[in-house]
Structure 1
C-alpha cells in the first residue's frame, strides 16, 4: 500500500507534459523547406517527393486491386505475390538468393522498415555508426528509440570511406553500421572494395550492417550498385532495406521491404505490425504488377532519364555561382555556396536556403541538416527528380541568381 501511494504521489507531481525526448525534437529541415516553398509558390527542389510520372502498369494495377476488393489488411509480411516478385528481382539483379516466405517483409516504406529493424535489434544506449553526410531520418529514428547515433565522416570531395575512422568510432556499445548506398544526400555509391573493408570490420566486431538501398536503380556513368549482403560472410548480419517509392514515383504509397536472415525477420515483422499493421493493400498489388512486368529496360531507362536531369541541375548550379559535388547515384546534389556571400543573405545554410527561395523561388535544403552541428553550413541540397518542365523552370531561375 505504501509503495502504491509513493507512485501515485510521483505521478501527481509530474503532471501533464511532453516526454523527455519531445522538447528536443524539431521539424525536419526538409519538411520545413517544403512548407515554405508551398507558402510562396516556389519550385520545390528540397524534398525528394519524386513527382515524375507513375508507370501505367503500376497505377492501373493499384486501381484494379481497389475495384477487385483488395482493400483490407494483408498478412503482416505482405501479399505473397509481391514477396515473390521482390525475391526474384533481387536474385536476378544482385545474384542474392532469397526465400520469399521467410526472408522478405513488405513494409510501410523504407522508413518504416528502418524503424521496425531498429526496434527489433537495438536497446536503449546501444550505439550505431552512420556515415556523414547522413540521412536525417536515420539519425532521428535512432534517437527516438534512445539508441545513440555515432557519425563517421566520409572524406571529401568524393566522400571516400576511411576504415580507420570506422575502427576508431567502435566502442563496446556499438551494435551496427548503417550504409546508405546510393546515398541521400551526397549520391555516394560505396564501391565493392569499400564494402569488403567494412565487412571485415563488421565480422571482426560482430556488428550488424543495415543497408538502405532505396536509390539502387538511380546509378550513373560507370558506377555500380553493390549490396553489402552479397559480400562474402555478410548474408547473416546484413539487413537490406529498400522499396519502390522512388523507382515507381509513388512516394505517397509507402511500399518498402526488408530482406534479412529468417532469424531476424520474425521480430522485425512483429514491430512493423505493431507500428503499421501492414503496407497499403491495393498499392502492394500495383507494385507487384510493376516488378513483374517492367524488366531491365525500364530500370536502365530510369537511370538514363535521371542522368540527363543530373546534367541539367549541375549546369544550372555552376552558372549560378555554386560548386556542386557530382553524385554517382540517387537524385540529389550537394552544392557549395562559398563565394556567394554577396548574393545570398545569411551566415548559415538554413538562412541561405531561405534567401535563395526568396530571390529565385527555388527551394533547397540546408546542408547542415545532414551533418553534425557546425558542419555543412556552406552547402545546399537540391533534388532533381522532377518533371522536365519543372526542373527546366528551376534551372532558369537559378541561373538568374547572378
Structure 2
C-alpha cells in the first residue's frame, strides 16, 4: 500500500479532545476541553427555534449570509474601533478552527516560516505543518508568560511570513499589554510579516487588564488577519460559527480557500446568531463579571487545597503546577487523576515546544455546582498522590 501523508507524523491527535474522551469513559468532571455545561442566552435559543420553523435551511453565500456579515461588521467595528466593510473584509467560517486554517493557507506558501508563541493552543503547530510552513517558537516564560523582545526579533529575522498571536491567551490566560503589542507591531513592520490573531476570548478579560485588538494599532490593519468566533462569547461552541476580518485583498484569497475547505457555515445557525450579534454592551459587561466570579470561586478552592497556579488575566483557563506530586509525565498524571480523582485536565506539555511536564490546564466554564463538585474531588488529590508515591 502507498504511504500516507508524511505531515501526519509531525503532530498527534488533539490531546485536549482525547482527555474529554477519557473523562467520558470514567465519568469524570471534564475541566479539560473548554466548553460550558450551561445554556446560551434564552434570546438566542428562542431565535434558533424560530429559524428552525422557517425556510432558511439551504446554502447561504459561501463567505457568510448577508445579514450575519452586516451584524458582525457592526458589532466588531464598535469594539475594534475600525470601520469594517461586511462585503469586502469578512469571511464567515465553520468555527475559529477553520478561520485559523484558512488564514494560514491564505498567507503562507510551502517552506514559509511562522512564529508561534509557546505555550500555544495545540492547533497552531498543526495548522502551520498542514500549510507546509515551518513553526518557529518564541517562549512565553511562566509564571508571568512574558516574552523577550530580543528572542522575538531573532525569530522574525529568519524571514518569517507570519506570526500567530492568541490574545487573551489559551492556555495561560495572559492578556498582552498594549506596550507588548506595540513591540510586536514594530517588529512585524520591520521584518514585513503578517499577524494572524486568535481573539476568541476577546470579551473575557478581567480588570484591571484590557483587551487591545492588534488590528486596531496604528498601521496594523493592513497586515493583520483577525480570527475569532461566537463560541465562547455566547456559549455556543457546538454551533461552529467563526470568522476572519482583514483587508479586502487578503479576504479575497481567504474566500477562495474557505470555499474549498467547507463551502460555508450553517445557514440556520447564522440566521439565529444575528440576534446575539445585536446584544447591547451590557451583555458583554455581564459576561465578564460572570466569568470573573467563576474564576475567583475556583481559585479560592485551589488555594484551600494548596495547589499552585498562575492567576488568569483573561479567558477561562488556569495553569496549575503539579511538581509536588512527583510524576515524571504530565500525561500520565492527567490520566491517573481522571481515574483516581474523577477530574479531567489537559497536560501542559501539549501546549509547549520545550519539555515542560510540571503544568496542567483546568478550565472553569462550568456551573458553580459543577465547580463545587470538582473542587470536592480535588481535595483528595494531595492524599491520593502521597499514597501512590509510598
**Category of TM-score, reference length = shorter chain:** over 0.9
1:316 positional shift: 2.4
The structure with the larger Rg is 1
Question: What's 2:23 paired with?
Answer: 37
What is the CA–CA distance in structure 2 between the aligned matches of 1:159 and 1:22, rounded to whole Å?
Answer: 30
Per-residue deviation, residues 274-306 of structure 1 (Å, max 9, x unmatched): 0111011111112111111x2111111111111
Q: Would you say 1:268 and 2:254 are equivalent positions? A: yes
Q: Would you say 1:302 and 2:287 are equivalent positions? A: yes
1:221 positional shift: 1.8
Listed as ranges, the gaps of 5+ residues in structure 2 are 383-390
Q: TM-score, normalised by structure 2?
A: 0.95
What is the CA–CA distance in structure 2 between the aligned matches of 1:25 and 1:240, rounded to whole Å?
Answer: 25
Equivalent residues in 2 for 1:21-36 (5 A)? Answer: 21-36=7-22
Equivalent residues in 2 for 1:210-289 (5 A)? Answer: 210-289=196-275
Question: What's 2:376 paired with?
Answer: 396
What is the CA–CA distance in structure 1 between the aligned matches of 2:112 and 2:199, rounded to whole Å?
Answer: 23
Equivalent residue in structure 2 for 1:83, among 69, 73, 98: 69
The question of whether the paired residues in 1 share the 8 Å contact of 2:70 and 2:86 is answered with yes
How many residue pairs align between the two structures?
Answer: 382
Q: Which contiguous aligned blocks of 4+ residues in structure 1 show a shift greater than 4 angstroms?
A: none
Question: What's 1:387 paired with?
Answer: 367
What is the CA–CA distance in structure 1 between the aligned matches of 2:321 and 2:195, rounded to whole Å?
Answer: 31
Report the secondary structure of 1:128's partner residue. Answer: strand
Equivalent residues in 2 for 1:42-57 (5 A)? Answer: 42-57=28-43
What is the CA–CA distance in structure 1 between the aligned matches of 2:15 and 2:211, rounded to whole Å?
Answer: 28
Q: Would you say 1:374 and 2:374 are equivalent positions? A: no
Listed as ranges, the gaps of 5+ residues in structure 1 are 1-14
Aligned Cα RMSD in Å? 1.3
Range with greater deviation from structure 2 (307-316 or 213-222): 307-316
Q: Would you say 1:357 and 2:357 are equivalent positions? A: no
Question: What's 1:126 paired with?
Answer: 112
Question: What's 1:332 paired with?
Answer: 317
Q: TM-score, normalised by structure 1?
A: 0.92
Per-residue deviation, residues 134-153 of structure 1 (Å, max 9, x unmatched): 11111111112221111100
What is the CA–CA distance in structure 2 between the aligned matches of 1:117 and 1:231, rounded to whole Å?
Answer: 20
The question of whether the paired residues in 2 share the 8 Å contact of 1:106 and 1:279 is answered with yes
The question of whether the paired residues in 1 share the 8 Å contact of 2:156 and 2:187 is answered with no
